[in-house]
Structure 1
């Protein structure tokens, strides 16, 4: 037997209270009526106190009541050994939605569990796999949760998506058998479209278990591509997938404010050249407005402010790239204290513009394809092998049984009620 709150057992010291009361209680004097004291022989009168146990039954009942109240607070639990289930199936929710796949589990035995591969590993809860807001989980984090399952063997059915492996390979005390159900089919999925003054560019993900690529092409509104009524979405018609609605983002020119000092005018030239190269690469206009440090427009908000000056930079709610010499840093551009601040750590030259990847760093700071990358990550179906999913197995030397706990409190409450009734009855009889 164990206790959920063993610290409450200290309350058993309260048993000393009724013992002390009964030890020091005096016997009640009895009055005897006699006719005359002349017939009584003289005796030495002495008043004494009786220090002895008084009324055994009442004392024992009250001690039992205090003990039961203490046990109820400590919440005793009776432990018994229960055999582990022989086999546990864990199924990815996407597979659980497939009726043809689930048909193979109709005849599973009573000692074989079926759980979902999602947080909490819910058992026999397949109907919840139909939830539309299901998100891909971390398979290795879920593998750690499998340590708590009382089972002899675990078989996991999954697509084995690479995006679902995060962090370090975990250690588990179960030998987990991963079965990866992959497909050689390549899936084309339209992600989003950018609209400029000239054209509309559609980005499509071409995904397979082996690779994930993005293709783009210019499209025209017609039978296949249609604008929605509010104009913020594009409906793409396909013979295989039907009609799909994707976001249509109005892509405006990027505005860059470049503030410089005369001593850093050479650095300004390198940055302007890098922005021109990015404009060609992105097929998107980048407007660079250069101004001396004493001619800056403080009220103008741009997508990026580049501050090539030793004077304090203007505070901006948007992204800022500031020149700040740092001889210790080994990178040309580094992140600042917050997500919108970056620093140029040294003067820009022909050499470090290449080795320090100036153009690539500027592209990362602008972050022009953030929406596209997020959609591509959700559509990614690249898979890993069963060997890649295998965890580090640590053999558990404990018995293939686990302890089942039974709460004894309901029985203690009944017993306590009976004792209270008996104690009141004995106390009432004592006063008679």
Structure 2
């Protein structure tokens, strides 16, 4: 049998793959989070409260969470690259339509469809990297991909927020949509053809069984729960920081508030750094420290001081992206059967946390202000710390952590 061909560090394929995945992550998360700094603008223009305006983001993440489970099944049938190419192109097209939405209902409808098309990329990206990258290259590539999500999320928020302050939200989203479309075309041109992806035409019954198998592992369910809690805490924190900072005594402009998202660059660096650190020291040892770092940042935002709040957001961002990068790679390597389904469940929990806790945080903000936001975001990060401590005691796998596909007819 011919040994599998993996993408090794320093090769042309390694460079092409990393550029493609970095831009894919950029386009995906710029599309997803471009509306986050616009939530106060939507609330004002469409006559909504904070909880209702958050649907511009929550509708997308909720649809994305559900679609991710089916996306993994589709990728097994169509192939990883095919699904990713169509996902990013359709997302770019919908992004160009978004500024043309005539009313709130149509805007939410387009954002819901974006959640559907977006699902094809994050559901497959981590699986593709785990299957195609040489083990020595996986940590770096996974970290760089997560870093791309950080920069994409930052750019989407920063560009839309600053331009909306001077041009209005429609021109802002149009300009951002054009940039995302260009990135999507580059991804299509550079993304290498996979060599190690097995196409399994699973029935719905087989898909259901594969999903169920992931919960038999002693570690994966805890990693899924950590995804829900970390993402829910993080999105809640950022969703309503803008509402808070726009009010006295801060009274910051939309441009100034959007500029805070520059701290996402710290997340880009921390994810790649933590990925390499976890390979050297072990995921268990590094993961809990990154969750603790995020918790420190979350609770610093309680202090009613602009510099301290910004510092808290920066520290939370560093910890969040580092923890998410480690957990993503951990799931991809620990799932010995049904890797695509394991990654899909992780991302399902991830975006479900964004949707559920992000919206809940809006109503907590309306009822109790920043104290309410801390009850949601702070409560979630405390729970995530308990999960991280539980993972410290996780026994190692009885066999080498290498990928395996289920036998035919499972």
Name the TM-score, length of structure 2 as normaliser: 0.19
In proportion to residue count, which structure has more strand? 1
Which of 1 and 2 has greater Rg? 1
Name the TM-score, length of structure 1 as normaliser: 0.19
- Higher RCO, Cα 8 Å, sep 6+: 2
